[in-house]
Amino acid sequence: MNEEGEIVNENAMPDLSDEDLKEIMRRMVYTRILDQRSIALNRQGRLGFYAPTAGQEASQLGSHYALAQEDFILPAYRDVPQLIWHGLPLYQAFLFSKGHYKGNQMPEGVNALSPQIIIGAQITQAAGVGLGLKKRGKEAIAITYTGDGGASQGDFYEGLNFAGAYAAQTVFVVQNNQFAISVPVDKQSAAETIAQKAVAAGIEGIQVDGMDVLAVYAATQEARNRAINGEGPTLIETMTYRYGPHTMAGDDPTRYRTDEMDDEWEKKDPIVRFRKYLENKDLWSEDEENEVVEKAKEEIKAAIKEADNTPKQKVTDLISIMHEELPSNLKEQMEEYEEKESK
Amino acid sequence: MAQMTMIQAITDAMRTELKNDENVLIFGEDVGQNGGVFRATEGLQDEYGEDRVFDTPLAESGIGGLSIGLALQGFRPVPEIQFIGFIYEAMDAVNGQMSRLRYRSGGTQQMPITIRTPFGGGVHTPELHADSLEGLMTAQPGIRVVIPSTPYDAKGLLIQSIRNNDPVLFMEHMKLYRSFKGEVPEEDYTVELDKADVKREGNDVTLIAYGAMVHSALKAAEELEENGISAEVIDLRTISPVDYDIIVESVKKTNRAVMIQEAQKVAGIASSVVAEIQEKAILHLEAPVLRVTAPDTVYPFSQAEEVWLPNHNDIVEKVNNVINF
């Protein structure tokens, strides 16, 4: 799909029903609103750590839409949307942002870890989950995400290489949004693409237009099928862009990005493009979009309220989730804090 | 009962657990067909297949990540890090990830991983093989650290470590692998984690040690006995958490203590043991608690091990200081 929402590669067109196409659009619009509201809530001090997602909807949600519930997600810190669409309640996503352990308690049946802060750690872990699924004989994959900067880490290479050596059922997604905080991707590596780094591990690599939700979906679906069929892992590089700052912790993108660059990528907006595509097919209307926007705003309002109403954490809570059986030092400290907290 | 070296006891423990629990997986560099660089996993791949006992690419961080991923799929990984000095490569996987995972998932995930790794001096290994890095790991909440000193303890503690649903770093002293044999039951048994063991009873001074230093302490105790000093030797066995109950009980009886470790003075766990004793038993002490440690240099070039590593003479000297304080 090009910037005008026209299909330029009919042969690679994924098999999606009208309802699927609409659902993908709903999720992208919802997630754009979630980003806008999260930034606002962060500025009001009602949310904590937040890594903006606007611009990456096709990359994040197109790849997620190709997954099944049994698939296991190992997200990076920017990949909260995939968790939400995999089943993490919104108020818990907000608790993750605020720094509350209940935000990280995945509900039963939501196969995922909470967002990984150590860039690269999720990659080697995903090789392990993918091998575990293979050993269990499951028709499911592990999928993990990192950014363009993350592809410079040792764990990135190790994860790809392990998964390749074991033909693990893993799909690695690098969301190349052109910048790792302020460092442009050409300062990360002399390699022309990140996808070609798959060669070092002897696995498949594919570079895809990360602003084209249909292309991301198709690439992920194909990689998933290959993994389940025992053909090994795949590295997918999605070419994308974040419209916002790196995180809300004081990063100012005007220091390292030009207006021209922002304008160029604004034209590629995955939502604008997909909207055109759906409108041409008579599958989308302004009313439908407004409905999604309203729904998102209401749900976000309710979720932030629920997050606010979650009981505060106590030291005894934190001690109790350290081990199955507390070691003696923690037993002792548990008693100390129980006494403090009872006062 | 059979007579086994510590390495045989360790192999026996892994064989026992491979048989008991189909989720147990053993992997690392050269642990498969080769049976491990110390033969710790010898014969296990033949018996249990490549699906259960397998080699990995040469990358410690990847081994750590692999363990975490497999644990997330319900397996009970027993990875090996070929030598402790290489744990730096896996520090994030071990300290930054698996040790925190139960906590960071709010108690919804667990990491029943046992990392086996050889360490310890006295056998002239090349650089970064023998370093005592246990202090780095005991400073990390969320992981237990176990160091056996006898074949009997090694088997029972390893079985118990593998059955534990939280991460355990199981450190095997290279000098103890084959230096002596001990009685080891052939059947399945466990030694409780978090519990120290009095290896020798005494009344005049408490010697607290772990790893190879337990044997140096026992040797020193024999010499001291000849001079009329009765030393009690406590083998910590689990060094995170330390069993302070048994230490305090002993110090209340002897009123004197010496803490012994092979690690450098700034490293290991000696300082925290001393601190804990003064918090819990200062009114029972007749003398300060002294430490026997290695000097604060990088681990010695192999030819210098004899002059660098603490030994029973150093222990006797410190005990005399404590007695004559």
pLDDT tens readout for residues B137-160:
999 999 999 999 999 999 999 999
* pLDDT given for residue B211 in this prediction: 98
- Is residue B109 within 8 Å of B102, Cβ to Cβ? yes
The end-to-end CA distance of chain A, in Å, is 63
Residue-wise pLDDT tens digits, B221-238: 999 999 999 999 999 999
Task: Give residues with Cβ within 8 angstroms of B270, minimum separation 6.
Answer: B259, B260, B261, B263, B291, B293
* DSSP H/E element including B99: none
Interface test with A, best of B73, B97, B110 (most A CBs within 10 A): B73
Nearest one of A301, A306, A300 to A100, comparing CA atoms: A306
DSSP string, A157-200: HHHHHHHHHHT-SEEEEEEE-SEETTEEGGGT-S-S-SGGGHHH
H helical segments located in B151-197: 151-163
Number of C-alpha atoms within 13 angstroms, CB side, residue A120? 18
pLDDT at B1: 84
Nearest residue, CB atoms, A324 vs list B166, B240, B245? B166
For β-strands B257-264 and B205-209, DSSP reports them as parallel
Task: Give yes or no: B173 in active site.
Answer: no
Q: What Cα–Cα distance (Å) separates residue A23 from each residue in A18, A68, A274?
A: 9, 15, 12
A277 catalytically annotated: no
pLDDT > 90? residue B293: yes
Q: Average of pLDDT values for B29-40? A: 96
> Which residues, in sequence order, are CB contacts of A229 under 8 Å at separation 6+?
none
How distant is the Cα of B55 from the closest Cα of chain A, in angstroms?
Answer: 10
- CA distances to A36, A114, A125, B117 from B99, rounded to whole Å, are 35, 15, 14, 16
CA dihedral A220, A225, A226, A228 (to 10 degrees): 120
Q: How many CB atoms lie within 10 A of CB B37?
A: 15
DSSP state of A292: H
Residue B283 has pLDDT above 90, yes or no: yes
Q: H helices within B143-206, ranges in order?
A: 151-163
Three-state SS letters, A189-248: CCCCCCHHHHHHHCCEEEEEECCCHHHHHHHHHHHHHHHHCCCCCEEEEEECCCCCCCCC
Q: Is B230 exposed, middle or buried (0-12, 13-18, 19+ CB in 10 A)?
A: middle
- pLDDT lower than 50: segments of chain A: none
Cα dist from A104 to A69, A83, A95, B106, B257, whole Å: 18, 11, 8, 6, 45
Q: Taking CB atoms and an 8 Å limit, are B142 and A132 in contact across chains?
A: no
Give dist(CA A271, CA A250) in Å, integer: 27
Three-point CA angle A198, A203, A205, nearest 5°: 50
H or E segment and range at residue A273:
helix A270-280
The values of phi and psi at residue B262, to 5°, are -80, -25
Closest to B104 measured CA to CA, from A102, A29, A85: A102
Which residues, in sequence order, are CB contacts of B276 under 8 Å at separation 6+? B242, B244, B247
B142 and A323 within 8 Å at the Cβ level: the answer is yes
**Does residue A153 belong to the interface with chain B, where contact is any CB pair within 8 Å?**
no
pLDDT for residue B180 = 97
Beta strand A204-209 with A234-239 is parallel
Q: pLDDT at residue B33 above 90?
A: yes
For chain B, give the mean pLDDT. Answer: 98
Residues of A in Cβ contact (< 8 Å) with B245: 328
Q: B94 CA to chain A: closest CA distance, Å? A: 11
The residue-averaged pLDDT of B94-121 equals 98
Strands B114-119 and B257-264: unpaired
Choose, from B124, B129, B173, B284, the residue flagged as catalytic: B129
Torsion sign, CA atoms A264, A270, A274, A277: positive
The answer, yes or no, to whether ipTM is higher than 0.90 is yes
pLDDT tens for B49-85 read 999 999 999 999 999 999 999 999 999 999 999 999 9
> Which of B72, B106, B242 shows the shortest C-beta gap to A321?
B106
The active-site residue out of A37, A246, A273, A275 is A246
Secondary structure element (H or E) that encloses residue B308, with its range: helix B305-308
